[in-house]
Homo-oligomer: A and B are copies of this chain.
């Protein structure tokens, strides 16, 4: 394996076929502001909370029980709990690379010892299946999640390889991968796992080890899917696990959102590494259509609670938005791969939208409770879960410490720890900055190298200043993303200001140390309107400011019934001076009306509803920050006053 391949980077496509190349995790060091706060929260709260919880609920103990052969009587938790340990190891590995954390290094070593002791001689490793008195290996490919768990183990090992992690962990993963190739190869078991994940993991392990068999096995899994290999399900049939239509023939992402997105990421990885242009363009088209028709304003995906699945095109109810945190994480994986492959700005836009509004929304301000689902509306205050008791998924607008299926906290942890890898890229001509965070960037491109300082308080304001700290004096290109939401933007290079439009703005110069580029994005709060085919938000507006989607939450206006509020889009939006008790946010003030309802009986009437409106002012906060002040009601989409007035008789 080469040093390039083992760079600390969460996704590492080989350079031959992609448009852009990823940076190593530590090339862009975040030094302050929004993302520094989240990474600190991750390091100090989220990762230790995951680790402690895994011990507390006994999911780590399962590995000890495996080593002492007592699983038959002692195993606890659902069948995929192993994967949470792997995701936590992955998070610790990235975090340790980002900023040395000896306690995480020690912990990884200790956990690796447990895995070692639990691994079978042929490489198989699972605490739910395959032991005396337990269910047989691979006896339930639909729901067993064995390859899914392996996938996360491989990802942990990939993080270890790229961050100098313990050789033992890498060995365990290689033995697992070899076992998979032996069992499921071209002539092996002709089946697939109900939950994709192994595909992308195998390609990533191939990238880090150079072992071509892993790539080939990933390719086999991708091609084997979609031929009705698995049994039918009650959740939208085999669409649920993408086994109805071959990957390269599908038109749009369907079924269980996380499964669909992990599969898409794996298929892109296979396409990139094998040069399969047809597969790449099929998955790109599927994801594009998913963005155009099956994605929430927040970037969230998955409209249906039943089966955690995508809805039909434009079926995007706010209240029943499932928008699982893990689907947002997986969507970032897909968008990042497409950004690397195509260089299209829309994918960086989508990553930003998803990070700020569907991923950062999951943890509470103290990093000790989490949203599994990220609904865009909540009508009735929920009930906070009992402390210490793992929750089911919770759909009542309250976060929980832990879940019986606890994929979201650990997925969040590995994402925040590896965030530095998703901010910028390079190509032979220079550096592209896609996401803005205060910090220092030090990276190579082609055979050259540059150092940049990024100063900004984004997303609180929209001024990003990039200063060249070190360069070789030759000409190269610095590219900055101008998000689609910024209708106007100004770029100042060497004192010269010009208007730029959304997309990628590139400046090619013989840069000198001390040169600055200043990008001013349009941070005026704005109203957003939806395609009229999205029934649930017909006649509504939402509010955004910068990359943040805003929400109306009851603690700021306890006297209002949020189901009856309308917003006056002609009255504008203003920064609010009021202290809403949430740290670091810019509240907004809006005007509208509270509708009166003249009945409380059968809710359908032959008469056009009567309209009497009481003018009101209300405060909006960033969506991600809601539900941090006790159980509340909330909505992102607010009926428009002008439309509501057209609806009624006066």
- Contact indicator B320/A317 (Cβ below 8 Å): yes
- Contact indicator A647/B643 (Cβ below 8 Å): yes
Tell me the chain A residues, 449-507 only, with Cβ under 8 Å from chain B. 484-485, 487
Write out, one digit per residue, whether chain A residues 589-608 have a CB within 8 A of any chain B CB (1) or not (0): 00000010101111111111
Residue of A317, A395, A597 contacting most chain B CB atoms (<10 Å): A317
A246 adjacent to chain B (CB < 8 Å):
no
Contacting residues, chain B, for A234 (C-beta < 8 A):
392-393, 404
**Contact (A647, B640) CB under 8 Å given A393-B234, A529-B604, A604-B528:** yes
Write out, one digit per residue, whether chain A residues 293-320 have a CB within 8 A of any chain B CB (1) or not (0): 1010100000011100001111101111
Contacting residues, chain B, for A369 (C-beta < 8 A):
none
- Contact indicator B542/A604 (Cβ below 8 Å): yes
Copies in the complex: 2
**Contact (A535, B533) CB under 8 Å given A292-B603, A528-B605, A602-B346:** no
A531 adjacent to chain B (CB < 8 Å):
yes
Contacting residues, chain B, for A313 (C-beta < 8 A):
379-380
- Contact indicator A539/B647 (Cβ below 8 Å): yes
**Contact (A536, B317) CB under 8 Å given A395-B236, A609-B529, A609-B531:** yes
- Contact indicator B319/A533 (Cβ below 8 Å): no
A563 adjacent to chain B (CB < 8 Å):
yes
A644 adjacent to chain B (CB < 8 Å):
yes
A73 to B169, CA, bound (A): 46
A179 adjacent to chain B (CB < 8 Å):
no
A642 adjacent to chain B (CB < 8 Å):
yes
A431 adjacent to chain B (CB < 8 Å):
no
Tell me the chain A residues, 363-394 only, with Cβ under 8 Å from chain B. 377, 379-380, 392-393
**Contact (A602, B292) CB under 8 Å given A539-B538, A539-B539, A640-B647:** yes
Tell me the chain A residues, 202-252 only, with Cβ under 8 Å from chain B. 232-234, 236-237
Contacting residues, chain B, for A646 (C-beta < 8 A):
642-643, 645-647
Please tell me which one of the listed residues B379, B536, B640 contacts residue A312 in the complex, with CB atoms under 8 A apart.
B379
Contacting residues, chain B, for A534 (C-beta < 8 A):
603
- Contact indicator A600/B292 (Cβ below 8 Å): yes
Contacting residues, chain B, for A601 (C-beta < 8 A):
291-292
A532 adjacent to chain B (CB < 8 Å):
yes
A642 to B395, CA, bound (A): 36
Tell me the chain A residues, 600-650 only, with Cβ under 8 Å from chain B. 600-609, 639-640, 642-647
A318 to B563, CA, bound (A): 18
- Contact indicator A597/B377 (Cβ below 8 Å): no
A134 to B404, CA, bound (A): 29
- Contact indicator A597/B528 (Cβ below 8 Å): no
- Contact indicator A535/B318 (Cβ below 8 Å): yes
Smallest CB gap from A640: residue in B: B647
A607 to B526, CA, bound (A): 10
A392 to B642, CA, bound (A): 44
A644 to B463, CA, bound (A): 38
A569 to B600, CA, bound (A): 25
A407 adjacent to chain B (CB < 8 Å):
no
Interface size on A, residues (CB 8 A): 74
- Contact indicator B315/A533 (Cβ below 8 Å): no
- Contact indicator A639/B532 (Cβ below 8 Å): yes
A141 adjacent to chain B (CB < 8 Å):
no
A527 adjacent to chain B (CB < 8 Å):
yes
A510 adjacent to chain B (CB < 8 Å):
no
- Contact indicator A597/B533 (Cβ below 8 Å): yes
**Contact (A485, B538) CB under 8 Å given A320-B304, A320-B317:** no
A542 to B608, CA, bound (A): 12
Contacting residues, chain B, for A101 (C-beta < 8 A):
none
A603 to B314, CA, bound (A): 9
**Contact (A532, B607) CB under 8 Å given A315-B319, A380-B312:** no
Contacting residues, chain B, for A530 (C-beta < 8 A):
603-604
A585 adjacent to chain B (CB < 8 Å):
no
A141 to B544, CA, bound (A): 49
A564 adjacent to chain B (CB < 8 Å):
yes
Contacting residues, chain B, for A642 (C-beta < 8 A):
646
Contacting residues, chain B, for A595 (C-beta < 8 A):
532
Smallest CB gap from A611: residue in B: B532
A232 to B391, CA, bound (A): 10
Smallest CB gap from A541: residue in B: B608
Write out, one digit per residue, whether chain A residues 343-355 have a CB within 8 A of any chain B CB (1) or not (0): 0001000000000
A530 → B minimal CB distance (Å): 5
Residue of A297, A487, A538, A607 contacting most chain B CB atoms (<10 Å): A538
Please tell me which one of the listed residues B319, B395, B485, B606 contacts residue A535 in the complex, with CB atoms under 8 A apart.
B319
Smallest CB gap from A645: residue in B: B646
A431 to B66, CA, bound (A): 74
Smallest CB gap from A646: residue in B: B646
**Contact (A314, B379) CB under 8 Å given A292-B603, A531-B603, A605-B528:** yes
Please tell me which one of the listed residues B379, B533, B597, B643 contacts residue A643 in the complex, with CB atoms under 8 A apart.
B643
Contacting residues, chain B, for A533 (C-beta < 8 A):
563-564, 597, 603
Tell me the chain A residues, 555-607 only, with Cβ under 8 Å from chain B. 563-564, 569, 595, 597, 599-607
- 5 closest residue pairs by CB, A with B: A646-B646, A305-B306, A531-B603, A306-B306, A234-B392
Could you jot down 26 A-B contacts, CB within 8 Å? A297-B604, A304-B320, A314-B379, A314-B603, A317-B320, A318-B535, A320-B320, A346-B602, A487-B606, A528-B605, A529-B604, A529-B605, A529-B606, A529-B607, A530-B603, A530-B604, A531-B603, A532-B609, A532-B639, A532-B647, A535-B537, A539-B539, A544-B606, A569-B608, A645-B646, A646-B647
A contacts, CB < 8 Å to B: 232-234, 236-237, 291-293, 295, 297, 304-306, 311-315, 317-320, 346, 377, 379-380, 392-393, 395, 404, 484-485, 487, 526-540, 542, 544, 563-564, 569, 595, 597, 599-609, 639-640, 642-647
